[in-house]
Chains A and B, each alone.
Chain A
């Protein structure tokens, strides 16, 4: 299993960014996928989750209405569109694979990508 995030970088407050996570080594469309973030020096914070078909999504309150999770199963890629970014969204963003159906813990993680929101 490999999960490779891309798309991070520096963005001004109020700006937008789209992160991608290229997945391989497993049957992508059979697995729920998620984004988890970690602010510098802080703990882990769950961001969002999407079902294998893309028909179900859930968000943390802190990002609801600003972030949109999606997936392209033909490209085995997970995305998160982040709009109206705030300084407090600065974090390493991890793409994570949910282990099994009807569970929401993570058995594989990407290496993470840094998003910095600053003027």
Chain B
């Protein structure tokens, strides 16, 4: 199974900060990676798919990129509603797998 390692597991940031979250795949997955945001008590919300395509309705301060088997989610200017946990997911092969998550805290 493809393992996804997210780093850091948590980070503290301030409003207006630029933050970068990383997801490393244990093997090549092409660009078959999605990012989700989850707030407590709520289901995940799709942010990005295909490593860098922004889902409709998601603010443009979110962006994704890929370099080989390393993927990044960048939030350009943190807003109050961005404090949440972020997960990556690969959909290149079964079993589908998620990273362990990165919690973004104030």
Interface residues of A, Cβ cutoff 8 Å to B:
34, 43-46, 49, 58-61, 94, 99, 103-107, 109-112
**Does A99 lie within 8 Å of B46, measured CB to CB?**
yes
Residue of A nearest to B96 (CB): A46
Instruction: Give the complex CA separation of A67 and B96 in angstroms.
Output: 16
5 contacts between A and B (CB under 8 A): A43-B100, A58-B95, A60-B95, A106-B46, A107-B55
Q: Contact between A111 and B43 (Cβ–Cβ < 8 Å)?
A: yes
Q: Which of B60-68, B76-84, B86-94 contacts A (4 or more CB under 8 A)?
A: B86-94
A98 to chain B, nearest CB (A): 9
Complex interface: chain B residues within 8 A of A34 (CB): 96
B49→A46 contact, CB < 8 A: no
Which secondary structure characterizes the binding site on chain B?
loop
Contacts of B42 in A (CB 8 A): 111
Inter-subunit contact A103/B95 (CB<8 Å): no
Against A, the Cβ 8 Å flags (1 = close, 0 = not) of B23-46 are 000000000101010100011111
Interface size in chain B (residues, C-beta < 8 A): 23
**Cβ–Cβ < 8 Å partners of B101 in chain A:** 43-44
Q: Which residues from chain B contact A106 at a C-beta distance below 8 Å?
A: 34, 36, 44, 46, 89
CB of A34 to closest CB in B, whole Å:
8
A44 touches B89 (CB 8 A): yes
Contact B44 A109 (CB under 8 A): yes
A58 to B97, CA, bound (A): 13
Interchain CB contact (< 8 A) of B98 among A44, A103, A104 = A44
CB-CB under 8 A from B1, the residues of chain A are 61
Q: Which 8 A-B pairs have the closest CB atoms?
A: A109-B43, A104-B91, A105-B34, A46-B96, A44-B98, A58-B94, A43-B101, A105-B91
For B36, the chain A residues whose CB sits under 8 A away are 44, 106
Query: In the assembled complex, how far is the CB of residue B64 from the closest CB belonging to chain A, in whole angstroms?
Result: 12
Contacting pair A49 B96 (CB below 8 A): yes
